[in-house]
Amino acid sequence: MSDGSDRNDAVLVGQFRREFNAFWNRGDWHDDDRPNDEWDPIADAGISALRRGDLDGAVHAIVHYVSDEMELEVSSRTESELRRFLSDFARSAGWTSTHPPAHNRSPLSGPSPADVEGERPGPAALWNMIDDFCDSVRPSARVNETQLAPRLRAVEVVPNNQHAIPLSIIVGPDEVILGLGHDGCRFELSANDAPNRSEIREILEAARKGRAEEETWRRSSECRVWLADGTELSTRTIHGLTLRSMRGPSTLRHYEPYDPSPITS
């Protein structure tokens, strides 16, 4: 009985490698021609976690391998598409954990009741700051808070002024991902450091007051914000995988304040 199960699992592993190679080679994932089997180590990096139903672990393992071993950059867009591919395959293969321990639940098995009811990861001081910011922008923006996965929560801020910059704040137990603009630019900061929380607030305020711009090339984007003291911060994202810097024509957006009326504070 176990031999049959093992054989079936081996077939699924082979199928996963083939489908992963097809997924990874489509479109503009890379700039040079590589044989399909060169992607097998990337697929293998995530198999063990995916077979346990650990979607986050599989994504992290694959992104880590690509970044460290192959020295390629993984964009947020590529990571999102990878997550969808892995989730779909795991469900079709039955690689899901239906009753994981409460402290180690998998996104594939759905959030725990506590998460559904609104448990927030990260320190309370961080959420107090986020709540204060959201209260300050609600007259001029739509704010939506959702549970993405166990211990992973997102706040989306969409300004009424279409010329202002949209924001997303994704909070995990130890990290905050602050997304800005339309093309995947993001800052990744520790959730537990007070100086980082102060910087997050300053970035959010800069965005709210229109001290931000976004430049987009064919396969990359860069977002720049100016803090109250004039300090410029920037972050860039690559769309796909590349070893080269992107050049060529670009589109530049200069963002406006959320509230078009004069800001006195």
User: For residue 118, what pLDDT band results from cuts at 50, 70 and 90?
Assistant: low
pLDDT at 260: 62
pLDDT at 87: 84
The mean per-residue pLDDT over the stretch 215-243 comes to 80
pLDDT tens-digit readout, 8-41: 667 777 788 788 777 776 644 444 444 445 556 7
The mean per-residue pLDDT over the stretch 122-149 comes to 86
The mean per-residue pLDDT over the stretch 76-100 comes to 72
pLDDT at 100: 38
Phi–psi pair at 20, nearest 5 degrees: -65, -45
Q: Rounded distance, CA 133 to CA 30, Å?
A: 39
pLDDT at 114: 39
Output the CA–CA distances (angstroms, integers) from residue 261 to 74, 163, 213, 230, in the order listed. 39, 14, 19, 22
* Model confidence at 262: pLDDT above 60: no
pLDDT at 226: 95
pLDDT at 261: 54
The mean per-residue pLDDT over the stretch 73-91 comes to 78
Phi-psi label, residue 110: left if phi above 0, alpha if psi -120 to 50, beta otherwise: left
30-34, 94-98, 232-236, 246-250: range with highest mean pLDDT: 232-236
Which pairs with CB-CB distance under 8 Å and at least 24 residues apart come from 105-109?
A: 105/150, 106/52, 106/53, 106/54, 106/55, 106/56, 106/150, 107/55, 107/56, 107/148, 107/149, 107/150, 107/152, 108/53, 108/54, 108/55, 109/53
User: For residue 93, what pLDDT band results from cuts at 50, 70 and 90?
Assistant: confident
pLDDT at 244: 47
Q: What is the pTM for the complete model shown?
A: 0.56
pLDDT at 38: 58
The mean per-residue pLDDT over the stretch 226-243 comes to 78
The mean per-residue pLDDT over the stretch 133-152 comes to 83
Q: How far from the centroid of its chain's Cα atoms is residue 40's Cα?
A: 24
> Which of the two residues, 171 and 56, has the higher pLDDT score?
171
* Model confidence at 167: pLDDT above 80: yes
